[in-house]
Amino acid sequence: MFMYFTSGTYDFLKNIKEKHTNEKLVLLENENNALLIHESSGSTFFSAPRSYEIFESAGEFSEPGFAVLNNIPVTDEGRPLFEYRFKNRKGKIENEPGFIGLRVLRPQKDHTYIVLTFWEDEKSFNNWQNSNSFKQAHSKPDGQKEEQSKPPQIFAGASYITKYYRANEDE
């Protein structure tokens, strides 16, 4: 499976979504722009998409109230370890109240992975961030001793998150 992103104005992306009602699309927005996401087993109809392969997923791909994109730059050498850690993750986010879906996306053209989570609302996401499940999911790998606290260089830079809300399609 693949996931494609395109950004633009809300009205422009809404028109694209309305023309492709048979496709799996989610329209989101924040204070800066709108984002249209296409999940597909093949190619996309976006003219200049950001393209990703889905290598881990849980839950549904559906209209969330709130979505978080955790953008994580990973070195070429670090890709296998990063993916291994995700496939063997400790925390089970899918058991959290308000969770809708998770997609871990491998970049096709650059080095920034995206961990995309869909939530019923922002409060559900914030509750997860303050939970023991979150702490467990972000703890040191099993078997790593305190003196080994310096992780291997798998990250190419600092990660950052982008938050989006369900687009108000009734406007």
Residues 79, 72: Cα–Cα separation, whole Å? 11
Provide the pLDDT confidence category of residue 62 given band limits of 50, 70 and 90: confident
* pLDDT tens-digit map of 23-51: 999 999 999 999 999 999 999 999 999 99
Supply the pLDDT for residue 111: 94
- Amino acid, res. 39: E
Sign of the alpha-carbon dihedral angle for 2, 40, 50, 161: negative
Q: How far is CA 81 from CA 85, 96, 145, 155, in A?
A: 6, 26, 18, 10
Encode pLDDT of 104-127 as tens digits: 999 999 999 999 999 999 999 999
Question: Taking 70 as the threshold, does the pLDDT of residue 79 lie above it?
Answer: yes
pTM greater than 0.85 (yes/no):
yes
For residues 5 and 146, the model is more confident at 5
CA angle, 12 as apex, 6 and 15 as ends, to 5°?
100
- Would you give the end-to-end CA distance of the chain in angstroms? 32
- The pLDDT score that the predictor gives to residue 101 is 95
Query: Which whole-number Å values give the CA distances from 50 to 73, 88, 96, 147, in the listed order?
Result: 15, 26, 29, 39
Task: Tell me if 154 sits within 8 A of 81, measured CB to CB.
Answer: yes
122-135: average pLDDT: 87
Question: pLDDT higher for 89 or 153?
Answer: 153
